Amino acid sequence: MAEPIISFKDYGFQYMAQASPTLHHINLDIYPGEKVLIAGASGSGKSTIGSCVNGLIPYAYPGESTGELLVGGKDPAKESIFTMSQIVGTVLQDTDGQFIGLTVGEDIAFALENDCVPQDEMKRIVERTARLVDIDHHLEYAPHELSGGQKQRVSLAGVMVEQVEVLLFDEPLANLDPAAGRATIELIDEVQINTGAAVLIIEHRLEDVLWKNVDRIVLMDEGRIVADMYTKDFLTGDMLLKHGIREPLYLTALRYAGVPITKELEPQHVNSLQLSEKEKEQVRTWYQTSTIQVGAAHGAQELLRVENLSFGYTDQVMNLQNVSFSINEGEMVSIVGRNGAGKSTLAKLICGFEKPTAGKIYLEGKDLSGDTIKERAQRIGYVMQNPNQMISKPMIWDEVEMALMAGNMSPEERKERVEETLKICGLYPFRKWPVSALSYGQKKRVTIAGILVQRPRMIILDEPTAGQDYHHYTEIMEFLKELNGQGFTIVMITHDMHLMLEYTPRAIVFCEGELLADTTAAHVLNDPALVERANLKETSLYTLSMACGIEEPREFTKRFIAYEEAHRRG
């Protein structure tokens, strides 16, 4: 039998800044050619596992380790970062921390330049790799000009140019649109097959990762491995929800219908399901007898109106073209579309960070063109996609409290408001921590808290749940829904199709700077033509309903979401 390429034996690790260990008694072997998913709630230790494998621990994150770790037969603690980078290729969750070059092409070529690859060959490799990840039209762009998803593709290309033995992906889907996420999983699968490298994926979006075969799933909880099982065996149990991970939608739907999840069902993916006629009938019966009604849309007064809005960062390229829509008071709306479709640009225009080339934006009937960014911020809160671009204070408490300091609130009122917000965002235990000690996902929650603490009339959130485990995802979204119930208007730019289905009755769809559709969330993901044009992905509920002979997949999706909400609320 082959020797493991990664071997943890009774391994433990404690960060220098922490009072207790993050990892406890880790025993894990990963073999060449294996694809392993490491899942777990935020703070469970899964990213620390990755940092141990690629050598960032102990060099970037010092601490004390116990037990034994070998990667490619070498102890990372005794080797240089350069040596480990030739064994392990890493795509980080925080892509901004991984860029080296001044342009996309330079960044992809960085490893090749270190290896003294001839220029002509280097250019061919860079162009071929860029085409594989669909970033070849941006080789001359600077990294800061790219969207979050485009940055992720550049990082992936930079890893792919090297022949490494281990490919490590830390939340590779966090900033990608659904179709791009699926393409990334397909690409990772293809690269793994072609290179024979071991693949280690650290990711919350379990269903998306399982688009392609995964050999094993390792589940982490509080620094310990609580499960290490073949995928088929793992999905038949109830480990996921117990440990803060959302199970695939099609499995949840089957459970609601009373269909047992067994190994014989082949539950690894919705397309692999082996449903008997009896089980299909169970699903149809559940659908037909479900009487839960979906709430009606808001009919309140108009809050925001966008009229014939156009904008371009350059004179040659228009990022938004003649966009018009309105949002009423108390609505909860998703804005969706592929990376680079213009979603974040629209938010910047609404908040005043950019000025439109043409068109108008009105809030409560008032033209906002004369308002400053500060004046708009008093009524429109904006949570950016990248938390590193928002945080300005070294300590968590100070960062969240900062927005309240300029007002007339007493210290006691500020304390109460900050504490309430930190608890809702899952940050109260870390209230005295420095921001620098947080993970990327935890930083994201700090920025959300910094906006929520102000209680604005309208909140725009750019990817509010990216990098969040199911527990914190639900906590944040339920709080946003509670605010929405109190009359606050919530607008979310998101790639999370379940978020759109579960929490927003309405979805505004963008494609290449144009408003493609303004319709119900259920309609968006049950219209194959619209899904393809917007670079989205059909929900597995659509696939399941069609497999069971249900002719109204849109209604099936609506009933599932309503049933799930009622089930969650008891």
Q: The tokens of 239 are what?
A: 């480990």
Q: Model confidence over 275-307: pLDDT tens digits?
A: 999 999 999 999 998 765 544 444 579 999 999
Q: Model confidence over 438-458: pLDDT tens digits?
A: 876 688 889 988 988 988 889
Evaluate whether 55 touches 79 at the Cβ level (below 8 Å). Answer: yes
> Which of 12-26, 144-158, 214-228 shows the lowest per-residue confidence on average (mean pLDDT)?
144-158
Q: Model confidence over 485-494: pLDDT tens digits?
A: 878 899 999 8
Q: Which are the contacts of 504, defined by CB distance < 8 A and separation ≥ 6?
A: 332, 333, 334, 492, 521
Q: Which pLDDT does position 149 carry in this prediction?
A: 67
Q: What CA–CA distances, in Å, run from 502 to 67, 561, 566?
A: 44, 6, 11
Evaluate whether 188 touches 212 at the Cβ level (below 8 Å). Answer: yes
Evaluate whether 398 touches 430 at the Cβ level (below 8 Å). Answer: no
The three-class DSSP label of residue 229 is strand
Q: Which are the contacts of 95, defined by CB distance < 8 A and separation ≥ 6?
A: 148, 151, 152, 154, 155, 175
Mean pLDDT of 407-417: 91
Mean pLDDT of 165-186: 82
Evaluate whether 545 touches 556 at the Cβ level (below 8 Å). Answer: yes
Cis amide prior to 394 (ω within 30 degrees): no
Question: Which position has the higher pLDDT, 277 or 471?
Answer: 277
Q: What are phi and psi of 159, to 5 degrees?
A: -75, -35
Q: Model confidence over 44-55: pLDDT tens digits?
A: 899 899 999 999
Amino acid at 426: G
Task: List the one residue out of 419, 503, 484 whose CA is nearest residue 453.
Answer: 419
Q: Model confidence over 242-286: pLDDT tens digits?
A: 787 888 999 999 999 999 999 999 999 888 899 999 999 999 999
Q: Which pLDDT does position 180 carry in this prediction?
A: 76
Task: Evaluate if residue 397 carries a pLDDT over 90.
Answer: yes
The three-class DSSP label of residue 457 is coil
Which of 55-69, 180-194, 336-350, 477-491 is most confident?
55-69
Q: Which pLDDT does position 297 carry in this prediction?
A: 45
Q: Which pLDDT does position 278 carry in this prediction?
A: 95
Mean pLDDT of 406-419: 91
Task: Evaluate if residue 539 carries a pLDDT over 70.
Answer: yes
Q: Which pLDDT does position 294 carry in this prediction?
A: 47
E strand map for 346-401: 358-363, 366-367, 380-383
Q: Which are the contacts of 346, defined by CB distance < 8 A and separation ≥ 6?
A: 306, 309, 320, 323, 335, 510
The tally of CA atoms less than 13 A away on the side-chain side of residue 531 is: 16
pTM: 0.77
